[in-house]
Amino acid sequence: KGNERDRRPTDEEIEKLVRYFRGNNLQIIPVHKIIRFAIATAMRLGEICNATWEDLNERNNTLLLRDRKDPRHKKGNHMRIPLLSVSGYDARAIIEEQRYDTGGEGRIFPYNGRSAGHAFRRACRELKIEDLHFHDLRHEGTSRLFEAGFTMGQVAMVTGHKDWKMLRRYTHLRPEQLHTIAARLQHA
């Protein structure tokens, strides 16, 4: 059993990272967009860097993830996920920003995932953000979906988790967010 992490970045840490990458003219990879997209979609870095324009269904506002990671099946795990805007970031708007950069052909984020991950780690070191891994953004995105009020089944449609036990490992709710959910339920 792997080490279970419960590290969620703070809003300040996310903002520091986004500002860092936006302000770095030498950085070719738009890591600030990839960070925001990872939180909006709860996708893995490799999934983000492999998604193509052909996989985008604009009419249904979904993205097809090909051969999504599954411990039991290595191939044929295609999954269509919704592009939502409930996490504080709008996944579809970020994709549209990329259309300008890529011309809408090939991969949406045509970058090497390892290079993006290395840039992320380097930024965390320079900004003195301790113990934050890129994969923690997937946990953050998953937690934000629950905090937005989605059910377990709905969150699993986004994250691709097959059972609650695995999905629970990715869910780290902040107690203060329950007030927001409770207020929303009272006004519904």
Instruction: Report the interhelical angle of 136-147 vs 177-186 (nearest 10°).
Output: 30
Q: Is the pLDDT of residue 186 over 80?
A: no
Q: Is 114 a catalytic residue?
A: no
Identify the active-site residue in 44, 89, 139, 144.
Answer: 44
Q: Is 165 a catalytic residue?
A: no
Amino acid letter, 54:
E
**pLDDT recorded at residue 68:** 77
Comparing 38-42, 151-155, 178-182, which segment has the lowest mean pLDDT? 178-182
Identify the active-site residue in 8, 138, 139, 144.
Answer: 138
E strand or H helix at 140: helix 136-147
Q: How many CB atoms lie within 10 A of CB 116?
A: 24
Amino acid letter, 41:
T
Q: Running DSSP on this structure, what letter comes out for residue 26? A: T
Looking at the chain, the whole-number percentage of residues with pLDDT higher than 70 is 87
Per the CB < 8 A criterion, the answer to whether 28 and 20 are in contact is no
Report pLDDT digits (tens) over 65-91: 998 776 565 566 788 999 999 999 999
**pLDDT recorded at residue 3:** 66
Averaged pLDDT, 17-29? 93
Identify the active-site residue in 8, 33, 139, 170.
Answer: 170
Q: Is 92 a catalytic residue?
A: no
Q: What's the pTM?
A: 0.88
**pLDDT recorded at residue 9:** 96
Identify the active-site residue in 5, 107, 135, 172.
Answer: 135
Name the β-bridge partners of 57. Answer: 62
Amino acid letter, 3:
N
- Give rounded-to-5 percent helix, strand, coil for the chain: 50, 5, 45
Residue with tokens 């927001």: 180
Tokens of 65: 């993830």
Q: Is 8 a catalytic residue?
A: no
Identify the active-site residue in 59, 74, 75, 128.
Answer: 74
Q: pLDDT tier at 51 (50, 70, 90 boundaries)?
A: very high
Q: How far apart are CA 31 and CA 169, in angstroms?
A: 25
**pLDDT recorded at residue 2:** 58
Average pLDDT, the chain: 88
Q: Is 135 a catalytic residue?
A: yes
Nearest partner of 159 among 67, 72, 44, judged by Cα: 44
CA distances (Å), origin 159, targets 1, 40, 102: 20, 11, 26
